[in-house]
């Protein structure tokens, strides 16, 4: 049975780094590419990092019930997982790895309770999170405040997750993530 590994965290907690590490290590994992209405960052590739679509297209897909989950993260900024993405990866015989927002992870977990494991990646502190976000150089002061405010709200959800992975020392967090994946995928 193919499984779903749902990694969620506040922006800047390190979930994307952890997910990329796991994808490099395990051939049986595949990345679930989310759809979003946000602008593509210079290093991102269409169809690899995200499916970048317009807000109008996103709303049309919502109306067509094309998403397994979706969220308006900020006003006019949507993220979601297309049902066809899960079907595509399962057809390839892969376990699916998600880099997803907190509510999206919990929504998928509710729909696939036996097949999904929800992992919350927690930063060591709000101050460390702020430093990481500033270090990215992708935020202005207004978006930084928004992201930190949202991070505090997202932290309140961590008790609803199956596992909490604290990303303080990256190497240790990567090893713990590997153990979580192996236990979930290979459990008998």
Q: What is the pLDDT of residues 1-29, one digit of tens each?
A: 799 999 998 777 788 899 999 999 999 99
* Contact criterion met (CB below 8 Å) for 12 and 76: no
**Separation of alpha carbons 87 and 82, rounded Å:** 9
Q: Whole domain around residue 151: which residue ranges?
A: 4-186
The CA-atom distances, in angstroms, between 113 and each of 20, 94, 144, 174 are 24, 18, 34, 25
Chain centroid, CA 97 distance in Å: 8
Residues 65-82: pLDDT tens digits? 999 999 897 788 999 999
Beta-bridged to residue 52, according to DSSP, are 36
Which CATH number do you get for residue 74? 3.40.50.300
Helix (H) or strand (E) holding 166: strand 163-166
Residue with tokens 């036996």, as numbered in its chain: 114
Q: Count of domains in the chain?
A: 1
Task: Please list the pLDDT of the chain residue by residue as tens digits (188 residues).
Answer: 799 999 998 777 788 899 999 999 999 999 999 999 999 999 999 999 899 999 999 999 999 999 999 989 778 899 999 999 999 999 999 999 999 888 899 999 999 999 999 999 988 766 666 676 666 666 677 776 776 667 777 888 999 999 999 988 889 999 999 999 999 998 74
**Is 56 exposed, middle or buried (CB count within 10 Å of its CB: 0-12, 13-18, 19+)?**
exposed
pTM of the full predicted structure?
0.84
């Amino acid at each position: 049975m193919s499984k779903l590994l749902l990694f969620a965290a506040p922006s800047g907690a390190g979930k994307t780094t952890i997910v990329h590490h796991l994808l490099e290590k395990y051939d049986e994992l595949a990345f679930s590419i989310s759809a979003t209405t946000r602008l593509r960052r210079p290093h991102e590739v269409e169809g690899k990092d995200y499916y970048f679509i317009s807000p109008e297209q996103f709303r049309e897909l919502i109306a067509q019930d094309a998403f397994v989950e979706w969220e308006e993260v900020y006003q006019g900024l949507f993220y979601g997982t297309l049902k066809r993405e899960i079907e595509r990866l399962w057809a390839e015989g892969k376990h699916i790895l998600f880099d997803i927002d907190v509510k999206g992870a919990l929504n998928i977990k509710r729909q696939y309770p036996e097949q999904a494991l929800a992992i919350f990646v927690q930063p060591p502190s709000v101050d460390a999170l702020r430093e990481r976000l500033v270090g990215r150089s992708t935020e202005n002061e207004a978006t930084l405040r928004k992201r930190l405010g949202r991070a505090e709200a997202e932290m309140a959800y961590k008790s609803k997750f199956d596992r909490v992975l604290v990303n303080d020392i990256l190497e240790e967090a990567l090893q713990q993530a590997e153990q979580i994946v192996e236990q979930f995928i290979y459990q008998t």
